[in-house]
């Protein structure tokens, strides 16, 4: 067992015991212990890895799938200390059935906190409501944040460096604070632990039909949607949206779902649209290695307010944030046979434009929109006739993509 974490664990145990293991005091106690011991300054990551690999004297390890991976560094009947390695970067928006505190030992992360308002329970494991972004901060190496169980602490993390390592001091479980909801913005909360196994198997079977090109796929999905309740219908339609769209059957499926469930489907539609947007950006992240570009993708993925984006960019990069964004855009811009791509915005080729012209025109419009807002095209008196129409088209495409948060 690593001596640093043995000492830290024993110290936390002694202090909490003196407080009669009062759960309400634990997050602050854990936070103070991490801030005082500061693993980021005093633990050598390479030594920790070597010790864990070469010494058999280790605490009991769980079979948890959380972290990439999770190492238990100190174990006690009341709480434990874990190190979480992160390679991919992002966690779902979630709440916890445990409490304690976490400390950024290596790397840095964007931390977003939320509230879930006007929650309406559809079933014990599925809720609809309004997920509102509360705060966004950049957690640098050495930052420590308390964790409270239940709805008071809904958050997500996007880890910027690979690997990022977090140290967590946490209780095993706080009874009565579950389920440990995962949130799909802007309106859905679901319990990821209590997934209905029949629905899981049905989704997998539908995936088989998708991959084998079954001719009755769409008809079967529609029949299911006609039969199923709202919660299970949501899981099926979420699973099948991509293939139904490819088949040109999405409108038919959605009309049926909307007819069956009435106004309850409005928040579900907005959630499905957001899932598609986030999936596209997350898939891009897999191909983006530059840490600055990953940082920018994380901001677009997680933030809803232009001022938050500009503030976080300024906190990490000197100079004007709009100039930095434009540089990133010029590095990220790509094209293929369908048009010019700026992340998830596609601007189709226009007849009279050569390959070298349209990308620079897109960047020029982006520059104007970033500096002057959505009315930039109208204000630019030099843009008239067909040129103004091209600018307007580029603007529409940017405004209907993840760039919109910056251009409002
Ligand atoms: Fe968390």
Tokens of 56: 């058999």
Quote the number of domains for the chain. Answer: 3
Give this prediction's pTM. Answer: 0.85
In this prediction, residue 353 has a pLDDT band, given cuts at 50, 70 and 90, of low
Alpha carbon of 109 to ligand 1 centroid (Å): 12
At residue 238, the pLDDT reads 95
In a domain, 66, yes or no: yes
Q: How far is the CA of 148 from the centre of ligand 1 (A)?
A: 10
> Which range in 43-47, 303-307, 312-316 is most confidently predicted, on average pLDDT?
43-47
Q: Are residues 177 and 255 in the same domain?
A: no
Q: Look at 163 and 212; give whichever has higher pLDDT.
A: 212
Residue 376 has pLDDT above 60, yes or no: no
133 CA distance to ligand 1 middle (Å): 15
Q: Report CA(281)–ligand 1 centroid distance (Å).
A: 21
Q: Which of 152, 171, 190 is the last residue of a domain?
A: 190
- Reply yes or no on whether the pLDDT at 408 is more than 80: no
Look at residue 206 and tell me whether its pLDDT is greater than 80: yes
Average pLDDT over residues 32-53: 96
Rounded mean pLDDT, 231-253? 95
Average pLDDT over residues 267-294: 86
- Which of the given ranges, 54-63, 203-212, 313-322, 330-339, has the highest pLDDT on average? 203-212
186 and 202 part of one domain: no
**Above 90 in pLDDT, residue 68?**
no
Helix (H) or strand (E) holding 9: helix 3-18
Kindly state whether residues 265 and 207 are assigned to the same domain.
yes
Whether 183 and 202 share a structural domain: no
Strand, helix or coil at 127? strand
Same domain flag for 80 and 100: yes
Bigger pLDDT: 359 vs 78: 78
Whether 344 contacts 284, CB under 8 Å: yes
Q: Is 175 contained in some domain?
A: yes
Q: Is residue 317 domain-shared with residue 381, that is, in the same domain?
A: yes
The overall average pLDDT reported for the chain is 90
pLDDT at 59 over 90: yes
Domain assignment present for 295: no
**Nearest-angstrom CA–CA distance, 97 and 329:** 40
Instruction: Specify whether 79 is located in the same domain as 110.
Output: yes
Whether residue 30 sits in one domain with residue 139:
yes
296 located within any domain: no
CA of 292 to the centre of ligand 1 (A): 24
Q: What is the pLDDT of residue 385?
A: 66
Question: What's the gap in Å between 231 CA and the centre of ligand 1?
Answer: 25
Please check whether residue 154 is in contact with residue 116, taking contact to mean a CB–CB distance below 8 angstroms.
Answer: yes
Expressed as residue numbers, the domain containing 214 is 197-277
Instruction: Report whether 233 contacts 256 (CB < 8 A).
Output: no
Residue 262 lies in a domain: yes
Q: What is the pLDDT of residue 357?
A: 83
134 alpha carbon to ligand 1 midpoint, in Å? 15
Task: Give distance in angstroms: CA of 155 to centre of ligand 1.
Answer: 6
Pair 270, 333 in one domain: no
Whether residues 175 and 57 fall in one domain: yes
Q: How far is CA 199 from CA 123, 195, 238, in A?
A: 15, 8, 12
Residue 167 sits in the same domain as residue 201: no
């Amino acid at each position: 067992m690593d001596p640093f974490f043995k000492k830290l664990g024993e110290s936390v145990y002694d202090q909490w015991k003196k407080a009669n293991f009062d759960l309400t005091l634990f997050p602050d106690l854990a936070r103070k212990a991490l801030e005082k011991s500061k693993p980021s300054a005093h633990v050598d990551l390479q030594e920790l890895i070597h010790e864990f690999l070469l010494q058999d004297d280790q605490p009991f390890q769980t079979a948890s799938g959380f972290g990439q991976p999770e190492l238990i560094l100190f174990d006690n009947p009341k709480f434990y200390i874990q190190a979480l390695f992160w390679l991919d970067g992002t966690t779902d928006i979630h709440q916890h059935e445990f409490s304690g505190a976490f400390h950024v030992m290596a790397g840095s992360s964007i931390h977003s906190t939320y509230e879930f308002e006007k929650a309406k329970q559809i079933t014990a494991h599925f809720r609809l409501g309004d997920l509102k972004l509360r705060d966004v901060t950049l957690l640098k190496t050495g930052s420590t944040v308390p964790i409270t169980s239940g709805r008071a602490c809904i958050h997500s993390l996007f880890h910027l460096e690979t690997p990022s390592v977090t140290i967590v001091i946490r209780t095993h479980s706080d009874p009565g604070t579950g389920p440990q909801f995962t949130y799909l913005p802007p309106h859905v909360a679901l319990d990821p632990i209590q997934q209905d196994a029949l629905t899981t198997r049905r989704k997998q079977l539908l995936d088989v039909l998708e991959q084998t090109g079954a001719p009755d796929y769409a008809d079967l999905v529609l029949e299911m949607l006609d039969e199923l309740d709202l919660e299970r219908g949501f899981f099926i339609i979420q699973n099948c949206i991509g293939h139904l769209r490819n088949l040109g059957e999405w409108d038919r499926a959605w009309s049926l779902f909307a007819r069956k469930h009435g106004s309850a489907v409005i928040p579900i539609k907005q959630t499905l649209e957001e899932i598609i947007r986030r999936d596209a950006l997350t898939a891009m992240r897999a191909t983006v290695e530059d840490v600055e570009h990953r940082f920018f993708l994380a901001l677009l993925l997680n933030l809803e307010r232009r001022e938050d984006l500009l503030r976080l960019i300024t906190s990490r990069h000197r100079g004007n944030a709009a100039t930095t964004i434009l540089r990133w855009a010029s590095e990220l811009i790509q094209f293929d046979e369908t048009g010019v791509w700026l992340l998830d915005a596609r601007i189709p080729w226009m007849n009279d434009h050569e390959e070298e012209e349209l990308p620079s025109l897109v960047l020029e419009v982006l520059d104007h929109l970033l500096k002057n807002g959505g009315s930039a095209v109208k204000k630019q008196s030099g843009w008239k006739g067909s040129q103004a129409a091209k600018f307007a088209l580029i603007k529409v495409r940017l405004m209907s993509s993840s760039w919109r948060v910056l251009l409002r």
